[in-house]
């Protein structure tokens, strides 16, 4: 069930099987990322985007994203995933762009908060459902679960 957040057009995203990439560790990390996003969306509805609470969740998210990207990339390296170069580039682009979007919120927090949340939600749902899903069969064929 989607939750409409008061004052923000951003919907929370619920984990479901459609997000499963067929690997327990990666699914767990994606679930944790979606939970962080949902916490951010909920808290943003009641706090200013620059409250310490939101900052700490964003910090947690970027730190955890780094750990998660490394896990995926290590598996891709180990099994010679053919799409590794492009996939790594997307992870790097996310890290660069997230800093940019976050810095933009410092200048105009009220207007940019929604953009930041939309960007993060869109990026993660698209990345998991399209880009990460592309390695699902590959890793399953390699015997990974
Ligand atoms: Fe990824």
Radius of gyration of the chain (CA): 16
Query: Separation of 6 CA from ligand 1 center, angstroms?
Result: 31
Query: Separation of 18 CA from ligand 1 center, angstroms?
Result: 15
What whole-number distance in Å separates Cα of residue 114 and Cα of residue 69? 25
Query: Separation of 12 CA from ligand 1 center, angstroms?
Result: 20
Query: Separation of 4 CA from ligand 1 center, angstroms?
Result: 27
What whole-number distance in Å separates Cα of residue 79 and Cα of residue 85? 13
Q: Which residues pair with 11 in a beta bridge?
A: 4
Q: Say which residue the tokens 């964003």 belong to.
A: 58
| Amino acid 27: pLDDT | 96
Query: Separation of 77 CA from ligand 1 center, angstroms?
Result: 13
Question: For the whole model, what pTM was predicted?
Answer: 0.86
Query: Separation of 87 CA from ligand 1 center, angstroms?
Result: 6
Query: Separation of 46 CA from ligand 1 center, angstroms?
Result: 31
- pLDDT band (50, 70, 90) for residue 10: low
Q: Domain ranges in the chain? A: 22-141
- pLDDT band (50, 70, 90) for residue 6: very low
Query: How do residues 75-132 score in pLDDT, each as one tens digit?
Result: 999 999 999 999 999 999 999 988 888 887 777 766 677 788 888 999 999 999 999 9
Q: Which residues pair with 4 in a beta bridge?
A: 11
- The candidate with the shortest Cα–Cα distance to 75, out of 16, 18, 142, is 142
Query: Separation of 30 CA from ligand 1 center, angstroms?
Result: 9
Query: Separation of 86 CA from ligand 1 center, angstroms?
Result: 10
| Amino acid 8: pLDDT | 46
Architecture per CATH, domain 22-141, reads as: Up-down Bundle (1.20)
């Amino acid at each position: 069930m989607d939750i409409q957040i008061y004052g923000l057009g951003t919907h929370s995203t619920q984990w479901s099987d459609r997000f499963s990439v067929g690997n327990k560790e990666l699914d767990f990390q994606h679930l944790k990322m979606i939970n962080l996003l949902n916490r951010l969306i909920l808290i943003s509805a009641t706090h200013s985007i620059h409250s310490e609470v939101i900052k700490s969740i964003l910090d947690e998210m970027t730190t955890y994203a780094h750990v998660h990207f490394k896990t995926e990339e290590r598996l891709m390296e180990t099994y010679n995933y053919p799409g590794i170069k492009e996939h790594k580039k997307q992870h790097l682009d996310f890290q660069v762009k997230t800093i940019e979007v976050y810095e933009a919120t410092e200048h105009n927090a009220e207007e940019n908060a929604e953009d930041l949340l939309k960007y993060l939600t869109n990026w993660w749902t698209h990345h998991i459902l399209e880009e990460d899903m592309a390695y699902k069969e590959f890793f399953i064929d390699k015997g990974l679960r």
